[in-house]
C-alpha cells in the first residue's frame, strides 16, 4: 500500500520521529497509524536501552514560571554532548518537562528514589482495604500491585502521564527523544517552588 505524505506528517506530529522512520513504520503497519506508533515506540525503547549506560555529563537546566508567578520549576536534563544540549528539540524537551512538573507536582524522578518506608506504608493501606473482602490472597496481591503502580504515577515523574497527552508518560517522552537525538538523556533532578508552600 502506498504511504502518503499526509500520513507521514500526521505520524511525525504524533511521535516526533524522523521522516524516514515514520515512512518505514507506516509501511510495516499497512498504513495503520496506531500500529505505526507502537512500532516506533518499540524501536525507540530498544534504542534507548542500548544507550542507557552512557554518561550524561552535558545538558541544561530547563525552567518554567507559571502565569501569575506563583509556581516555578527548575529541572536539570542531562545528555551526552553539548551539541545535543543546544538543539531546539532538547531545549523544547526540557521546557516541556518543567511545565509538566509545575502542573503535576511529582515528588521523585524515578521509582528507585521513593523511600522504602513510604512504599511499605502505601502497600499496608491498600491491603487493609481488602481485609474483610474474602478475596483470595493472590487476587489481593494483584490489586495491590495495580494500586502501587497508580501510586507511582502520582509521585514519580517518569511514570506520570504527560499533561499534554495522558496516553504518553514522561518516561515515554524521554525515550522518544533518545531515539530521535541519538544520545542517552536523563532527568537528573528538579525543584518546584510554590508561593506559600514550605519544604517537607
Tell me the domains of the chain and their CATH numbers: 5-51 (1.10.8.10), 58-110+156-194 (3.30.479.20), 115-154 (no CATH)
What whole-number distance in Å separates Cα of residue 175 and Cα of residue 46? 9
Say what the pLDDT of residue 143 is: 87
pLDDT beneath 50: ranges in the chain: none
State how far the alpha carbon of 122 is from the alpha carbons of 21, 65, 116, 129, 149, in Å: 42, 32, 10, 11, 11
Say what the pLDDT of residue 200 is: 56
Say what the pLDDT of residue 6 is: 83
Paired residues of 58 in beta bridges:
79
Say what the pLDDT of residue 188 is: 95
Quick one: 186 exposed, middle or buried, by C-beta within 10 A (0-12, 13-18, 19+)? buried
User: Whole-model pTM above 0.75?
Assistant: no
What whole-number distance in Å separates Cα of residue 185 and Cα of residue 52? 8
What whole-number distance in Å separates Cα of residue 198 and Cα of residue 1? 59
Say what the pLDDT of residue 16 is: 62
Say what the pLDDT of residue 29 is: 84
Question: DSSP alpha helices (H): ranges in the chain?
Answer: 5-15, 19-28, 33-51, 82-85, 88-104, 116-128, 137-155, 170-181
Say what the pLDDT of residue 88 is: 94
What whole-number distance in Å separates Cα of residue 142 and Cα of residue 18? 39
Coil, helix or strand at residue 75: strand
Q: Is the dihedral of CA 190, 193, 194, 197 positive or negative?
A: positive
Amino acid at each position: 500500500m502506498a504511504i502518503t505524505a499526509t500520513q507521514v506528517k500526521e505520524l511525525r506530529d504524533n511521535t516526533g520521529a524522523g521522516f524516514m522512520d515514520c515512512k518505514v513504520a507506516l509501511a510495516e503497519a499497512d498504513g495503520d497509524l496506531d500500529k505505526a506508533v507502537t512500532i516506533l515506540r518499540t524501536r525507540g525503547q530498544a534504542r534507548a536501552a542500548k544507550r542507557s549506560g552512557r554518561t550524561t555529563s552535558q545538558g541544561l537546566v530547563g525552567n518554567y514560571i507559571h502565569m501569575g508567578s506563583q509556581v516555578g520549576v527548575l529541572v536539570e536534563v542531562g545528555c551526552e554532548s553539548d551539541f545535543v544540549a543546544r538543539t531546539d528539540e532538547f531545549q523544547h524537551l526540557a521546557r516541556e518537562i518543567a511545565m509538566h512538573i509545575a502542573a503535576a507536582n511529582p515528588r521523585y524522578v524515578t521509582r528507585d528514589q521513593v523511600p522504602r518506608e513510604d512504599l511499605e506504608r502505601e502497600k499496608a493501606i491498600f491491603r487493609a482495604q481488602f481485609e474483610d473482602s474474602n478475596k483470595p490472597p493472590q487476587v489481593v496481591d494483584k490489586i495491590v500491585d495495580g494500586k502501587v503502580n497508580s501510586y507511582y504515577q502520582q509521585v514519580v515523574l517518569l511514570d506520570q502521564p504527560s499533561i499534554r497527552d495522558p496516553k504518553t508518560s514522561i518516561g515515554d517522552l524521554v525515550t522518544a527523544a533518545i531515539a530521535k537525538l541519538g544520545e542517552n538523556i536523563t532527568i537528573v533532578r528538579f525543584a518546584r517552588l510554590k508561593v506559600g508552600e514550605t519544604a517537607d
